[in-house]
Structure 1
Amino acid sequence: MIENLPKTYDPKDFEDRIYKYWNDSGYFKAKVNKEKKPFTIMMPPPNVTGNLHMGHALNNTIQDILIRWKRMEGYEALWLPGTDHASISTEAKVVEKLKKEGKSKEKLGRDKFLEEAWDWTKKYGGNINNQLRKLGVSCDWSKERFTLDEGLSDAVEEVFIRLYDKDLIYRGDRIINWCPNCKTAISDAEVEHEDSKGNLWYIKYPIKDSEEFITIATTRPETMLGDLAIAVHPEDDRYSHIVGKYAILPLVNREIPIVADEYVDMEFGTGAVKITPSHDPNDFEVGGRHNLGQLKIMNDDATINELGGKYEGLDRYEARKRIVEDLESEGYLLKIEEHANSVGHCERCKTVVEPIISKQWFVKMEPLAKPALKAYENGELNFIPERFGKIYTHWLENIRDWCISRQLWWGHRLPVYYCRDCGEIMVTRENPGKCTKCGSTNIYQDEDTLDTWFSSALWPFSTLGWPEETEELNYFYPTDVLVTGYDIIFFWIVRMVFSALEQTDEVPFKDVFLTGLVRDSEGRKMSKSLGNGIDPLEIIDKYGADALRFTLITGNSPGNDMRFYTERVEANRNFANKLWNATRFVLMNLDEEVAKDEIDIKNLEEEDKWILSRINSVISEATENLSKYEIGIAGQKIYDFVWDEYCDWYIEMVKPRLYGENKESKEIAQRVLLSVLKDILKLLHPFMPFITEEIWSYLPGNEEALIISSWPVYDEKHEFKQSEKRITYIMNAIKNIRNARAEMNVVPSRKAKLIFVTTDEEVKEILKYGEGYFTNLAYAQEIEIKDNKDGLGEDNVAVVIDRCEIYIPLKDLIDFDKEIERLEKEKEKLEGELKRVRGKLSNDKFVSKAPKDVVDAEREKQMKYENMMKKVLERLDSLKKNI
């Protein structure tokens, strides 16, 4: 006796149990296996401080689908998980914790602070990985890595030293993104730009030894304290006569030159711009071209420093207010205009970022960018969708040197030592003990750590043991595909590509699959400030992981944002429930001995050939879709087949055979039902792994887990195109007949004669074969096939399909007396409604005094009731003629 599934589908009954079974059985583990081709995905490491959000859920569901599919295809599939140490975020959280305890980072000192940071990370970090398990990710947890792991730290140190030795890393003064709250440099990827309403202040600068003045427009008046020049375009005739002269900086009275530079946009503002080399990246470049020098007028906390004169000590915004007041009182402020501006904010603390000159460590990007650009142009690197390749190219062609030092303690400390006596810089793995230049022992290590992106740029190969020549590195690297979001990740993709090419001479992955953002149902980005975030774990708890996964990947395409609707999750849970109940039906009608036998295609009925041919096509198409990363399309095709063809049609078609007396026909139906169900579960497994594995465990003849079963393949022997054509024709006829009956509210129990009129011999043959289907599925009392309409009579319902007309005698569908009685009641009801509404509208007081929308509503009701009455009277007249 075959054990049956429980009556009720409840994912809580088995999802955790199945995940434990997979993990404990070692099914997620990948090893070097020369007999198999490797397939590798490196999980983009989420922040160790993070929690699962919908973006993670989408990203990891796609990776899991690909890895499960390739595992079933026979590849040695490695999906390596891990987390990122997230320098700024983690340090901020530890500092906050210490503050609550009455402690501070500075008082503890570096070593004690790092002890606190490690303790905090071990206690609270990595929670996201436990949450990912709820989603069903089948990554190899035995190979989990952390960017501060000893091996990965060695790789980071190795790369820094190699780049330094090749003169690709240098220390210098350049403009960087500075967070005044976190008090560290941050990368472009950690800056969030937000549109905000600001102002343009028009300020006149007097020209030395002249009655003239030149007007500039600025969005940041406070930075004028650091102005070192005014620039105009060399082709701007308005200012050509003053180029080379000097302007007097208002409030400060410093003489600054007027220079000509093509950087200036003649159409913006006045066509003249203030140049503040220490506080703007473009001004920095202009300053370098004209040898202007530097003048930094802000402290690390964004207060004005001692070079700011009477504004020293003021916060930048208070300084702005005072400067504007003083400009106005002294007659330098001409006007103020509203101006929309994109303002950079620190991703972590939301403080407005200050571009500022700072002595930092940088990577020279031009020599590294060229090979990364060439790899894409040569086709070694593919983007899905392709349009993102243009952004990759644009970013590399316009790349600036990368600031890699951070004023933090949590992270990879720079392997750089300084001599206090002679200033020598030593880059080395170990403390050299004494200066390599002067022999002094008065040396110290750089306090800064490396940008988190520096270590994550090495992720595809450092996680496999590089720089050591490990077996895993040689076998699993380069990886096959990177799956990640499009919003910030080009900063990471680019860095991984150039780092891999520089260190391993290979691109780190062949394909880059880019996902869009998961937005709320109104299309808004999910955020804490809007309070519109949706917790994936809550969705899983309510509907199950399978329903969430399927929702995220269907109705969605690479690189496009998607809206998240809970109603879709509910619909996909209903789909899972449909599959569950269909399986219960199959198992309840399955003889265990019959299930052991193979399908003999010689004795198949037409519907058997149709369903085998259809699943064969779905296998071929879904496999091709997956190979093209058309994951949503593949999922939708499987869904449509399961719901529409297998459950709604094939099961209904074979019920008479399952309940009939023909033993051979019954057994064939059972075998086909089981065979197709097994292929369905295999196809659906990467998308909905839990329910498919649970159902699989109940099917007879399965000795291994579904997760390691073989992916179904197209079989020529199961291609029956003629049968597909015939059954599809019959199905289309049945659908049209059902629709006609539904429009007339005819109950299924009322049988009717079907008269088919066609001269097409092929159609006649199909219809004769389909008589049993029409009887069982189209509620036919009998069928008749005619060449013409002779003898049909007038009172029929007509349905037109390809090469055939179908007539259903009205008397078979309707009890005339009961229908007339029903329509007479409907007529009486409509007469009452019309009397009421006409009475209202004939009342002058109502029409003149009631609000216009109320009167219009009553007029619409009158029109509606009059149309309904017309149809009722026409129907009554027609029926009475046929009595």
Structure 2
Amino acid sequence: MTETAAALPDDLPKNYDPAAVEVVLYQRWMQAGYFRADEQRVLSGERKPFSIVLPPPNVTGDLHIGHALDHTLMDVLARWHRMSGDEVLWLPGMDHAGIATQNLVEQKLAVDGKTRHDFGRELFVQKVWDWKHESGGAILGQMKRLGDSVDWDRERFTLDEGLSAAVQTIFKRLFDDGLIYRAERITNWCPGCLTAISDIEVDHSDDEGELVSIRYDGEAQDGAAFSVVVATTRVETMLGDTAVAVHPDDERYAALIGRTVRVPFVERDIPIIADEHVDPAFGTGAVKVTPAHDPNDFEIGKRHGLPMITVLTPDAHITDTATIFDGLDRFEARAVIKQKLAEAGHVVGEKKPYLHAVGHCSRSDDVVEPRLSKQWFVKVEPLAAAAGDAVRTGAVTIHPPELEARYFAWVDNMHDWTISRQLWWGHRIPVWYSSDGEIRCVGPNEQPPGEGWTQDPDVLDTWFSSALWPFSTMGWPEQTDTLKAFYPTSVLVTGYDILFFWVARMMMFGLYAMGGDAAGNGKGNQPFDVVSLHGLVRDQFGKKMSKSKGNGIDPLEMIDLYGADALRFTLARGANPGADLAFARDWVGGSRNFCSKLFNATRFALINGAAVPQTPLQAPELTDADAWILDRLDEVIARTTEQLADFQFAKAAEGLYHYAWDEFCDWYVELAKVQTRESEARAVTTRAVLGTVLDALLRLLHPFVPFVTESLWTSLTGGESLVVAAWPRPSDRLPRAGARTFIGDLDKLVTEIRRFRADQGLPPAKGVPARITGGTPGLTAPAAALTRLVDPEDDFAASASIEVSLQAGLVTIQVDTRGTVDVAAERARLLKDLAASEKEIVDTERKLGNEQFMGKAPDAVVAKIRSRNETAVAEHTRLSERLAALPGENA
């Protein structure tokens, strides 16, 4: 048997220090160009493609624990496919984050008492670009610390020239196809950001409010007065009421339909209308209708042709009501209006506390206002239908499949998408207006109209440009080699929480852009073949992480403390498809211990001359222990490969953990210490087995813990890099039938001997004379070595013994405990334990003898007490016998 030359032990330090190797290794990988993708290898048929586009983080962002999970799983797939011989493109980039970035720069200007209006649009946008170049994109450097193996040469930004051309192209195409239109609608409006925002930018929380019942007075035709009572939490919007609605079948109000009541303060007469939207069982069965400030009221207003009166400015102050409330902030107005209503006798009953869901802007935390405004929309019906069909026909697979229902519930009931934002930073809407009302949409290769035309001031929703990400980053609308080689992308890895908002929108635009029509035109146009959804990272108790709760975890802090590998491995072990994962700081420390265990085992192997054999290991040369660890290795290789193909990250990581720690480090390495002392021939084979297992194990673990495995594998093999090493395959060697039985017997025998030693009070590290009979020599010799039983001397006296029944037969262990037990200490320990068992016997017998207790206690409780009593009696007998067997006090 020949072996490759292993590195000298001096190449590895005594302890693994992540900080000493991670940055250095990552720089070496980048300089070597290992992460670069070459589309020509795909187009020539040399390699199969595997492609992922990184969900673009915000240019303002920092790496948070959700990013760390997302990136870890993508990197596992990228490294695995690269090692498996595929041509891997993992394309990175950033999102311009319209609202967040503009707000950040405006906050910096506000320090000097300035606003963006002091600079004008062009100069302000340049200031944002300056900030981006100087301070933006810190997350990209943080990705390198995590170990992301992305192709940095292809880094993109949503405002790049090429991506901007793609945005303008698809806007023009959608506009010309009648799938983009402008209309007045109710949208989510942020008074702090002064723009419409998307659903995903609204965080809902249960806020305490006050339900106020207001009486609207009317006058009957015969001169008799009447009134209608409505309830609301947003009292200030009453100033914009244009109707009161009741259900058409509500007999209480049947006679009032068509009559009018007067809105207090504004002295506006409004009709009482019948609409089936009203729930007659809620409150009084009558609701106020404010079409310009509520989405449901807006629909009622359209059905009944009601006026739509706006009473709030963009920054949420009362306006144009000709009342004393004009100019007040909405919350100030709410309090004052309630007071004035009460003084005028229009508040009925007591104001009631009311807990209700309130939307907050995820950027500014301002309470979102439903507000009527003129916006641009995408007509989603044909696009969403194509996105649903892509999954139904199997063109796209959602993993895990049980999340398909949530996807269909969204795309099958999608509302038209508000895509305009009242910002300056972003892709400006490519529409111009003439002075006489003509509208013209301009494509990327067209000249905008000249004098007398004005461009729309709004920009596009950031989600609009990011919906193009899978193909705009590859050069679309040009038919580039990158597109030909890597589109559709292989998989999208993302959290289930943006399944609706981003995944569905990429599906709609990918099918439309690449298929040439709203239907998407079949398989091959989808933006990705598989959507692999993971859950959210929560704390160890399953609660959502947040700074306010103090349970958030900074991944960069974890990397500083424990290393990137430890953080990655902790996240991967919890990443079951579609399920949330719990996470605690201490668990990262446990993963660091795993990396150290792997390091120490490899260092031991190198010190003892382990090397990777150049020729296959032959079965006759192998002990049962050798055969067992190699058989298990073949199983682990096959299982890990299958699990990664099925996106079962947690199962793959967990299986590798237990094989590496429990089987290889705790068992085989310990057996190897015994085998290398038996003979030179046995030592040579053992070293080859150590090298074989470590070579494959480090390859298997590399996608999860790339830094420590790279450091160890290059020292072991002298190879170039694990990044470009081959993924292991199971050997052709047939499993040895008796190897698993051998290890099972050895495990049981060693466990029983160690328990026996503890019962006898024998120090774990002290060699004890013993004679083992029965079983097989191949079994008992390593068992004796592992449990520190030494050959007896001529005056051997068996003072204690046990028998262990194994598949290999009955094994008897006789031990000479003379001189190995501190009799006084052992006697004291046994007396203490004996007293504890006596107390347990007394306590349990007292309960079992209490007729009143026994008559009332559940059967399960009684059974548990009986079991405790039986255990205590058995323990008392064992301790008494052990105590009696001890030599005298002066022995």
State if a TM-score over 0.5 links the two structures. Answer: yes
Please tell me the residue identity of whatever aligns with 2:879.
R
Q: CA RMSD in A?
A: 3.0
Partner of 1:709: 725
Partner of 2:77: 66
8 Å Cα contact 2:442/2:448 also seen in 1: no
Q: Is the alpha carbon distance of 1:445 and 1:825 closer, same or farther for their aligned partners in structure 2, counting shifts above 3 Å?
A: closer
Please tell me the residue identity of whatever aligns with 1:444.
T
1:553 aligns with 2:558: no
Choose the corresponding residue for 1:265, options 238, 261, 279.
Answer: 279
TM-superposition CA deviations, 1:423-442 (whole Å, max 9, x none): 1111113798886xxxx831
1:247 positional shift = 2.7
Choose the corresponding residue for 2:705, options 667, 675, 688.
Answer: 688
1:807 positional shift = 5.3
8 Å Cα contact 1:417/1:425 also seen in 2: yes
1:398 positional shift = 2.4
SS of residue matched to 2:323: helix
Q: Is the alpha carbon distance of 1:461 and 1:207 closer, same or farther for their aligned partners in structure 2, counting shifts above 3 Å?
A: same
Q: Is the alpha carbon distance of 1:828 and 1:134 closer, same or farther for their aligned partners in structure 2, counting shifts above 3 Å?
A: closer
Partner of 2:491: 481
8 Å Cα contact 1:823/1:872 also seen in 2: no
Q: Is the alpha carbon distance of 1:596 and 1:148 closer, same or farther for their aligned partners in structure 2, counting shifts above 3 Å?
A: same
1:816 positional shift = 9.7
**Counterparts of 1:268-279 in structure 2 under 5 Å?**
268-279=282-293
Deviating more after overlay: 596-605 vs 68-77: 596-605
CA distance in 2 between partners of 1:877 and 1:28 (Å) = 68
Deviating more after overlay: 342-351 vs 205-214: 205-214
Q: Is the alpha carbon distance of 1:825 and 1:330 closer, same or farther for their aligned partners in structure 2, counting shifts above 3 Å?
A: closer
Q: What are structure 1's unaligned runs of at least 5 residues?
A: 758-763, 784-792, 836-863
CA distance in 1 between partners of 2:760 and 2:341 (Å) = 82
**Counterparts of 1:566-715 in structure 2 under 5 Å?**
566-590=585-609, 595-660=613-678, 662-700=679-717, 702-715=718-731
**Counterparts of 1:316-335 in structure 2 under 5 Å?**
316-334=330-348, 335=350
SS of residue matched to 1:341: strand
SS of residue matched to 1:197: strand
**Counterparts of 1:300-449 in structure 2 under 5 Å?**
300-307=314-321, 309-334=323-348, 335-420=350-435, 422-429=436-443, 441-449=451-459
TM-superposition CA deviations, 1:17-64 (whole Å, max 9, x none): 110110000000011113111011110000001111111111101110
1:670 positional shift = 1.2
Q: Is the alpha carbon distance of 1:93 and 1:814 closer, same or farther for their aligned partners in structure 2, counting shifts above 3 Å?
A: farther
* Identical residues among aligned pairs (%): 45
Partner of 1:751: 768
SS of residue matched to 1:549: helix
CA distance in 2 between partners of 1:113 and 1:569 (Å) = 44
Partner of 2:745: 729
8 Å Cα contact 2:800/2:816 also seen in 1: no
Q: Is the alpha carbon distance of 1:434 and 1:378 closer, same or farther for their aligned partners in structure 2, counting shifts above 3 Å?
A: closer
SS of residue matched to 1:473: helix
SS of residue matched to 1:648: helix
Q: Is the alpha carbon distance of 1:718 and 1:259 closer, same or farther for their aligned partners in structure 2, counting shifts above 3 Å?
A: farther
Q: Is the alpha carbon distance of 1:874 and 1:267 closer, same or farther for their aligned partners in structure 2, counting shifts above 3 Å?
A: same
CA distance in 1 between partners of 2:13 and 2:446 (Å) = 69
TM-superposition CA deviations, 1:327-360 (whole Å, max 9, x none): 2112211131111111111111111111100011
8 Å Cα contact 2:19/2:560 also seen in 1: yes
TM-superposition CA deviations, 1:588-614 (whole Å, max 9, x none): 11176x844442334222111111100
SS of residue matched to 1:14: helix
8 Å Cα contact 2:834/2:879 also seen in 1: no
Please tell me the residue identity of whatever aligns with 1:323.
I
1:525 aligns with 2:544: yes
1:515 aligns with 2:508: no
CA distance in 2 between partners of 1:803 and 1:580 (Å) = 35
CA distance in 1 between partners of 2:670 and 2:821 (Å) = 34
CA distance in 1 between partners of 2:75 and 2:258 (Å) = 64
**Counterparts of 1:83-98 in structure 2 under 5 Å?**
83-98=94-109
SS of residue matched to 2:494: strand
TM-score (norm 1): 0.88
Choose the corresponding residue for 1:129, options 140, 148, 155.
Answer: 140
1:246 positional shift = 2.4
1:880 aligns with 2:884: yes
Please tell me the residue identity of whatever aligns with 1:727.
I
Choose the corresponding residue for 2:779, options 753, 770, 793.
Answer: 770
8 Å Cα contact 1:827/1:872 also seen in 2: no
1:808 positional shift = 4.5
1:295 aligns with 2:334: no
Choose the corresponding residue for 1:214, options 228, 249, 260.
Answer: 228
Please tell me the residue identity of whatever aligns with 1:221.
V
Partner of 1:538: 557
Partner of 1:760: none
SS of residue matched to 2:405: helix
CA distance in 1 between partners of 2:606 and 2:802 (Å) = 40
Deviating more after overlay: 331-340 vs 457-466: 331-340
8 Å Cα contact 2:476/2:483 also seen in 1: yes
Q: What are structure 2's unaligned runs of at least 5 residues?
A: 516-524, 793-797, 840-867
8 Å Cα contact 2:165/2:444 also seen in 1: no
Please tell me the residue identity of whatever aligns with 1:582.
A
1:519 positional shift = 2.7
Q: Is the alpha carbon distance of 1:750 and 1:876 closer, same or farther for their aligned partners in structure 2, counting shifts above 3 Å?
A: farther
8 Å Cα contact 2:772/2:780 also seen in 1: no
CA distance in 1 between partners of 2:50 and 2:680 (Å) = 47
8 Å Cα contact 1:826/1:872 also seen in 2: no
1:68 positional shift = 0.3
CA distance in 2 between partners of 1:261 and 1:754 (Å) = 94
**Counterparts of 1:49-64 in structure 2 under 5 Å?**
49-64=60-75
Q: Is the alpha carbon distance of 1:743 and 1:145 closer, same or farther for their aligned partners in structure 2, counting shifts above 3 Å?
A: farther
Please tell me the residue identity of whatever aligns with 2:755.
N
**Counterparts of 1:4-15 in structure 2 under 5 Å?**
4=9, 5-15=12-22
TM-superposition CA deviations, 1:470-527 (whole Å, max 9, x none): 0100110111111122334521111111111111132211222222222334544333
Partner of 1:19: 26
SS of residue matched to 1:343: strand
1:3 aligns with 2:8: yes
1:750 positional shift = 4.4
CA distance in 1 between partners of 2:171 and 2:385 (Å) = 19
8 Å Cα contact 1:609/1:723 also seen in 2: yes
Partner of 1:840: none
CA distance in 2 between partners of 1:433 and 1:585 (Å) = 71
CA distance in 2 between partners of 1:695 and 1:877 (Å) = 51
Partner of 1:856: none
1:416 positional shift = 0.6
8 Å Cα contact 1:797/1:808 also seen in 2: yes
Deviating more after overlay: 144-153 vs 649-658: 649-658
Partner of 2:500: 490
1:443 positional shift = 1.0
Please tell me the residue identity of whatever aligns with 2:318.
I
Deviating more after overlay: 18-27 vs 275-284: 275-284
1:260 positional shift = 2.2
SS of residue matched to 2:251: coil
1:813 positional shift = 5.2
8 Å Cα contact 2:89/2:151 also seen in 1: yes
SS of residue matched to 1:716: coil
1:821 positional shift = 6.3
Please tell me the residue identity of whatever aligns with 2:306.
L
1:39 aligns with 2:58: no
1:720 positional shift = 2.9
8 Å Cα contact 2:761/2:826 also seen in 1: no
Deviating more after overlay: 11-20 vs 241-250: 241-250
SS of residue matched to 2:676: helix
CA distance in 2 between partners of 1:732 and 1:75 (Å) = 44
CA distance in 2 between partners of 1:591 and 1:309 (Å) = 89
